[in-house]
Amino acid sequence: MASELIAVDWGTTNFRAFRFEAGRVAERREAPRGIMQVPGGDFEGTFLEQLGDWLHAAPDAPVIFSGMIGSRQGWSEAPYVSCPADLSALAKLHRFETRSGRTVHIVAGLSAVGPTGVHDVVRGEETQVVGFADSAVVEPRLFCLPGTHAKWVTVSGETIQGFATAMTGEVFGVLSQHSILGRLMEGDQDDEDAFGRGLERSGEAGGLLHHLFGVRAEGLFGAVPVTGLRSYLSGILIGHEVRAMLNQAPEGPVTIVGAGAVSGLYARALAAAGKTAETVDGEAAAVRGLCTLAVRAGLIQGT
């Protein structure tokens, strides 16, 4: 069994690679070469360009990918696994051989069907969560993964029970950059007071669509400064998301998987909703998950 591992978190925007030796990260690389930034869909060329020296130096090291590289728009589609899904199911990796003769393994995405029969999918974030799967933990735990498409994942023991997606980040981008709401906005600095007012507004009567138009109206009359409108909009959207997701979530604290300012905004929104939250680094979670699945799949020996 190999003692080295090459693991790649290859998403829509970024390419992050980790070279493991004896279960520890020995080297890390990152490039803005997500699947949407690969000219002509030449994934193998990008792979060799970024990691050719690693592959040459460790010809027997297994290679494992997670993220959108396994999507229909990626290099080779890894079929979805239906929830509930335990580590054994996720460790059945999609395997294929590159033109250069290297065997590559891709973590499958997850699919779920909500209470009303509507489908949902996740690809990439499941790897960040599986590193926290623990057979000794009986009570369900809730993970929040902020992003363009925020994911809320419920884990019980070693099983991902289900998840739900909110397009909060993408909707924020569209509204602030391509709608009438953005016309009054000035600057891109965070305004804590305006964000807090947005959170409060999200809990009031009227509904999301009414609250959204209020962003423009409050700006027109100076009730919210134009430099704070972006944060006010963010507070409204995140506030609505958090309330909706908590209504269908297990009791107990929430683990936020991410880093930076956005994770802090979610922690504040959760606190306003009466939930305690801890935050863990998203990249560290991805590394932990990739290593966990590589061990479960028998690619490397556990430490």
| CA 52 to each of CA 31, 34, 42, 47: distance values in angstroms, whole numbers, following the listed order | 14, 17, 15, 7
| Residue 13: both structure tokens together | 């925007």
Whether residue 23 is predicted with pLDDT greater than 60 in this model: the reply is yes
What does the alpha-carbon distance between residue 245 and residue 128 come to, in Å, rounded to a whole number? 19
Residue 281 has pLDDT above 90, yes or no: yes
Supply the mean pLDDT for the chain.
95
CB 257 within 8 A of CB 129: yes
Residue 241 has pLDDT above 80, yes or no: yes
The pLDDT of residue 1 is above 70: no
Choice among 42-51, 134-143, 234-243, 256-265 with the minimum mean pLDDT? 134-143
d(CA 43, CA 62): 18
Single pTM value for the model: 0.93
Amino acid (1-letter code) at residue 237: L
Q: What is the pLDDT of residue 115?
A: 87
Q: Which residue has the tokens 């069907």?
A: 113
Per residue in 24-41, pLDDT (tens digit) is 999 999 999 999 999 999
Q: What is the mean pLDDT of residues 161-175?
A: 97
Task: Give the angle subtended at the CA of 138 by the CAs of 135 and 144, to the nearest 5°.
Answer: 90
Between 62-66, 70-74, 136-140, 204-208, the lowest mean confidence (pLDDT) is in 136-140
Q: How far apart are CA 267 and CA 182, in angstroms?
A: 25
**Would you call 84 helix, strand, or coil by DSSP?**
coil
CB 262 within 8 A of CB 289: no
Does the pLDDT of residue 303 top 70, yes or no?
no
Whole-angstrom Cα distance, residue 301 to residue 264? 36
Reply yes or no on whether the pLDDT at 165 is more than 90: yes
**Whose CA is closest to 104, among 131, 68, 69?**
69
Report the run of H or E that residue 6 belongs to, with start and end. strand 4-10
- For every residue of 42-72, DSSP letters joined together read -HHHHHHHHHHHHHHH-TT--EEEESGGGST
Strand-pair partners of 145: 151
